[in-house]
Amino acid sequence: MRPGEQVLTAAQMRAAEEALIAHGVSVDALMLRAGRGAAEWIWRVAAGRPVTVLCGPGNNGGDGYVIAETLRARGIEVGVVAPIEPKTDAARNARARWQGRVATSGDRIHGGVLVDCLFGSGLTRPLSPEHALLLAELAAHHAFTVAIDLPSGVATDGGALLGNVQRYDLTLALGAWKPAHFLMPALDRIGETRLVEIGVQQVESAAAVFPRPSFASPARGAHKYTRGLAGVVAGAMPGAAMLAATAAMRGGAGYVRLLSAHSHPAAPAALVVDDSDLSSALGDPRWSALLVGPGLGRDEAARERLGAVLGAGTPTVLDADALHLLDDDLLEGVDPSRLLLTPHEGELSRLCACFGVTAEGKLERARALAAVTGLTVLAKGPDTVLAAADGRRAFFPAAPSWLASAGTGDVLAGLAVSRLATGRAPFAAGGEAVWLHAQAAREAGPDLTADDLVRCLSSAYARFL
């Protein structure tokens, strides 16, 4: 993992800062790096407009004084508002280097760009009503708002909002990404994001942004089985499995079969529909991966089909109805390291209740569920997170919100089984599926349907070659 890909909690960020200090870098030097790096971006977006910097008492405020002085020295008209005096040595030193005046209230202050340096990763409680009002009024009187590290009022580790937090145009993460840059509801407030590097080293067992995948064309001597045979197991409602299967055909696997007792007159010619008895179909030793859940149903017959799939010993994606049926009994004797679960919020809650996970917050729940069960968990949604039993956790760049549409989850599950069939491990398969899915959504454009997504998978795939 490159240092720029790691996602650090507030405590990990403090430890990383201390490690740098132990190597001889002073806090003041770090603050200069952070503030000057942030000022570069602000200088660009300000494009000559006046800038107001709101400074708090901690080192986030300290960054603000550095930003203010850097921009002033470059000829920008800068005003500083500081409702509280600096409380750390580094912030006091930064304030002493600021050559302009400091206002204590925001009265009659208007400008082009507001830079929020009130609180960063040191926020421990909701903003006082006075601070919240000051921030809201300043934001209303500026055309463009920038949050330094995090919008003031956002909880660094879980992405919760400690009070009213307005929407920013840009958030500049300092030193490393934080979980709040990827998790709802904070994700809905931070606007565009950029990372300002300050030389933070790799932190052991840190979460990461799942790296952009890089696919290869099939080997010259490849044939359909060496590329992977993926099976999509249908159930009561055939449409969802069919959608997943058509997506799986475009996700890298060489051969996709739909195991379904229904007739599928609209199936593409290249999709083999196998209506034989499920246990005999599953007896084929060539299966590379299976998907079960979309349209499966939740009755006893569905449970039997799920049991048969789990008993096949093949790498498997479990989605939708399979996630409502899954329990300890079904997992008895099954190697969980082969399984990838793709729950949405409701399914994640159901699984946590079933397996005794009491953690709070999406990341922590996914992590705990994976740790307790040994399964790989892809908790999908506007803030998708991926967690493996060995503790790996990954976040993803924000995907288009147009994905909030029926059937897009089936497409994701189809992509995941396809990646799994190519030989990828569950964690890698899940992460690559999320990237493909988001790229296809970008190509499909606004107001997309799940069928549009499938149509765009080929061009999306090409972006990763």
Ligand X SMILES: NC(=O)C1=CN([C@@H]2O[C@H](COP(=O)(O)OP(=O)(O)OC[C@H]3O[C@@H](n4cnc5c(N)ncnc54)[C@H](O)[C@@H]3O)[C@@H](O)[C@H]2O)[C@@H](O)CC1
- Whether residue 381 is annotated as binding a ligand: the answer is yes
Cβ–Cβ < 8 Å for 323, 351: yes
Binding of residue 63 to K ion (CB under 5 A):
no
Binding of residue 59 to ligand X (CB under 6 A):
yes
Binding of residue 174 to ligand X (CB under 6 A):
yes
Identify the sign of the CA torsion 47, 52, 54, 55.
positive
Q: With contacts defined by CB under 6 A, name the span among 30-38, 95-103, 243-251, 338-346 that binds ligand X.
A: 30-38
Which residue in the set 3, 37, 62, 297 belongs to the binding site for ligand X (CB under 6 A)? 62
Between CA 46 and CA 118 the distance in angstroms is 19
Characterize the bridge pairing of strands 385-387 and 393-395: antiparallel
What is the CA 48 to chain-centroid distance, rounded?
Answer: 34
Looking at beta carbons only, is 127 or 438 nearer to ligand X? 127
Element (H, E) at 349: helix 345-354
User: Which residues, 152 to 181, sit near K ion by CB under 5 A?
Assistant: 152
Contact string 292-321 vs ligand X (x = CB under 6 A): ------------------------------
**In 3D, which of 214, 209, 201 has the Cα closest to residue 436?**
214
Query: At CA 25, angle to CA 21 and CA 27, rounded to 5?
Result: 70
Q: What's the longest Cα–Cα distance across the chain? A: 80
Query: For the residues of 14-47, what is the DSSP string, one character each?
Result: HHHHHHHHHTT--HHHHHHHHHHHHHHHHHHHHT
Contact string 130-169 vs ligand X (x = CB under 6 A): ------------------xx--------------------
Binding of residue 113 to ligand X (CB under 6 A):
no
- Whether residue 125 is annotated as binding a ligand: the answer is yes
Q: Write the CA distances from 38 to 21, 44, 148, 189, 347, integer angstroms.
A: 21, 10, 8, 19, 40
- Whether residue 156 is annotated as binding a ligand: the answer is no
- Whether residue 295 is annotated as binding a ligand: the answer is yes
Between CA 367 and CA 355 the distance in angstroms is 13
Binding of residue 201 to ligand X (CB under 6 A):
no
Tokens at 91, concatenated: 């912030």
Q: With contacts defined by CB under 6 A, name the span among 55-63, 205-213, 336-344, 438-446 that binds ligand X.
A: 55-63
Looking at beta carbons only, is 37 or 407 nearer to ligand X? 37
Binding of residue 63 to ligand X (CB under 6 A):
yes
57 binds, among K ion, ligand X, none (CB under 5 to 8 A by kind): ligand X
116 binds, among K ion, ligand X, none (CB under 5 to 8 A by kind): K ion
Between CA 138 and CA 54 the distance in angstroms is 9
Q: Can you say which residues are annotated as belonging to the binding site?
A: 59-63, 116, 120-126, 149, 152, 240, 295, 344, 380-384, 409-410
Please report, as ranges, the residues that interact with ligand X according to CB under 6 A. Answer: 13-14, 17, 30-31, 34, 56-63, 87-88, 119-128, 148-149, 174-175, 198
Residues that bind K ion (CB under 5 A): 116, 120, 147-148, 152
